[in-house]
Amino acid sequence: PVVHPWYVLWALAPAMLRGVWPWLVFASLCPLSYLALAEYDVRGWQEVWWIPWIEHPALWLSLLVWWARSTPPSPG
Protein backbone atom coordinates (compact mmCIF):
# COMPACT_ATOMS: atom_id res chain seq x y z
CA PRO A 1 0.00 0.00 0.00
CA VAL A 2 1.10 3.52 -0.77
CA VAL A 3 0.75 6.43 1.62
CA HIS A 4 0.90 9.68 -0.27
CA PRO A 5 1.72 12.75 1.86
CA TRP A 6 -1.72 14.29 1.31
CA TYR A 7 -3.35 11.19 2.84
CA VAL A 8 -2.15 12.21 6.29
CA LEU A 9 -3.34 15.80 6.00
CA TRP A 10 -6.84 14.92 7.25
CA ALA A 11 -5.36 13.92 10.60
CA LEU A 12 -2.83 16.71 10.90
CA ALA A 13 -5.05 19.52 12.24
CA PRO A 14 -6.82 17.37 14.88
CA ALA A 15 -3.47 15.92 15.92
CA MET A 16 -2.03 19.38 16.39
CA LEU A 17 -5.05 20.48 18.42
CA ARG A 18 -4.90 17.36 20.62
CA GLY A 19 -1.11 17.36 20.93
CA VAL A 20 -0.58 13.98 19.28
CA TRP A 21 2.86 14.77 17.91
CA PRO A 22 3.60 11.31 16.39
CA TRP A 23 1.23 12.34 13.60
CA LEU A 24 3.34 15.45 13.08
CA VAL A 25 6.46 13.27 12.84
CA PHE A 26 4.78 10.94 10.36
CA ALA A 27 3.31 13.76 8.25
CA SER A 28 6.64 15.55 8.06
CA LEU A 29 8.48 12.39 6.97
CA CYS A 30 5.96 11.32 4.31
CA PRO A 31 7.26 13.78 1.68
CA LEU A 32 10.51 11.78 1.63
CA SER A 33 8.67 9.39 -0.69
CA TYR A 34 9.00 11.99 -3.44
CA LEU A 35 12.72 11.29 -3.57
CA ALA A 36 11.82 8.30 -5.75
CA LEU A 37 10.96 10.79 -8.48
CA ALA A 38 14.59 11.93 -8.54
CA GLU A 39 15.46 8.51 -9.97
CA TYR A 40 12.65 8.59 -12.53
CA ASP A 41 13.33 7.56 -16.08
CA VAL A 42 11.18 6.27 -18.95
CA ARG A 43 11.03 2.77 -17.50
CA GLY A 44 9.66 4.02 -14.17
CA TRP A 45 11.26 4.61 -10.82
CA GLN A 46 12.64 2.71 -7.90
CA GLU A 47 11.72 3.48 -4.35
CA VAL A 48 14.67 4.77 -2.39
CA TRP A 49 15.59 1.86 -0.11
CA TRP A 50 16.49 3.85 3.00
CA ILE A 51 13.27 5.87 3.27
CA PRO A 52 11.25 3.15 5.08
CA TRP A 53 14.22 2.69 7.42
CA ILE A 54 13.79 6.32 8.51
CA GLU A 55 10.00 6.72 8.35
CA HIS A 56 8.93 3.56 10.16
CA PRO A 57 11.31 3.61 13.15
CA ALA A 58 10.72 7.35 13.62
CA LEU A 59 6.96 6.80 13.69
CA TRP A 60 7.13 3.83 16.06
CA LEU A 61 9.64 5.53 18.35
CA SER A 62 7.55 8.70 18.53
CA LEU A 63 4.44 6.62 19.26
CA LEU A 64 6.27 4.76 22.00
CA VAL A 65 7.58 7.96 23.62
CA TRP A 66 4.17 9.64 23.33
CA TRP A 67 2.45 6.62 24.88
CA ALA A 68 5.01 6.42 27.70
CA ARG A 69 4.55 10.11 28.52
CA SER A 70 0.76 9.97 28.39
CA THR A 71 0.39 6.82 30.51
CA PRO A 72 -0.07 7.75 34.17
CA PRO A 73 2.26 6.02 36.60
CA SER A 74 0.79 3.04 38.39
CA PRO A 75 0.07 3.54 42.08
CA GLY A 76 2.21 1.67 44.51
Find all residues with CB under 8 Å of 64, minimum gap 6, and list them: none
Please report which confidence band the pLDDT of residue 62 belongs to, taking 50, 70 and 90 as the band edges. very high
Residue 4: pLDDT over 80: no
| pLDDT tens digits for range 11-53 | 888 888 988 889 889 888 888 878 877 777 777 777 788 988 9
Residue 66: pLDDT over 60: yes
pTM to 2 decimal places: 0.71
Geometric angle at alpha carbon 57, from 11 and 52, rounded to 5°: 85
Mean pLDDT of 52-71: 90
Residue 5 exposure: Cα atoms within 13 Å on the Cβ side:
11
Q: What is the pLDDT of residue 3?
A: 72
